[in-house]
Amino acid sequence: MSAVMPQDAQAVQAVQSFGKVAVLMGGTSAERPVSLMSGNGVLAALRSQGVDAHAFDPAERELGELRREGFARAFIALHGRHGEDGTVQGALELLGIPYTGSGVMASAIAIDKVMTKRVWLAEGLPTPNWVCLEAGHQQPALLRAVPDDLGLPLIVKPPREGSSIGVTKVLGYSQMQDAVKLAARYDPDVLCEEFIEGIELTCAVLGEGASARALPVVRIDAPEGNYDYEHKYFSDDTGYRCPSGLAPEEEAEVKRLTLAAYRALGCRGWGRADLMQRTKGANADGRFFLLEMNTSPGMTSHSLVPMSARAAGLSYEALCLELLRAAALDSPAPTAAAT
Query: Peptide bond before 297: cis, by omega within 30 degrees of 0?
Result: no
165/130 Cα distance (integer angstroms)? 18
272 belongs to the catalytic site: yes
Nearest CA-CA partner of 134 in 143, 147, 121: 143
Of 35, 107, 294, 303, which is the active-site residue? 294
Cβ 170 vs Cβ 147: under 8 Å: yes
The count of other CB atoms within 10 Å of the CB of residue 195 is 19
Of 27, 31, 103, 303, which is the active-site residue? 31
Residue type, 62: E
294 belongs to the catalytic site: yes
Tell me the backbone φ, ψ of residue 252, rounded to 5 degrees.
-65, -40
Of 269, 272, 296, 316, which is the active-site residue? 272
283 belongs to the catalytic site: no
The count of other CB atoms within 10 Å of the CB of residue 292 is 20
Cβ 308 vs Cβ 216: under 8 Å: yes
Coil, strand or helix at 221? strand
292 belongs to the catalytic site: yes
Residue 201, judged by CB atoms within 10 A of its CB (0-12, 13-18, 19+), counts as buried
Of 29, 38, 107, 163, which is the active-site residue? 163
31 belongs to the catalytic site: yes
197/202 Cα distance (integer angstroms)? 15
Nearest CA-CA partner of 83 in 35, 21, 119: 35
Residue 135, judged by CB atoms within 10 A of its CB (0-12, 13-18, 19+), counts as exposed
Of 274, 296, 308, 316, which is the active-site residue? 274
Of 99, 227, 229, 233, which is the active-site residue? 233
Of 298, 303, 308, 316, which is the active-site residue? 298
Of 292, 296, 303, 308, which is the active-site residue? 292
DSSP state of 318: H
- Name residues whose C-beta falls within 8 Å of residue 61's C-beta, 6 or more positions apart in sequence: none
- Residues taking part in catalysis: 31, 163, 233, 272, 274, 292, 294, 298
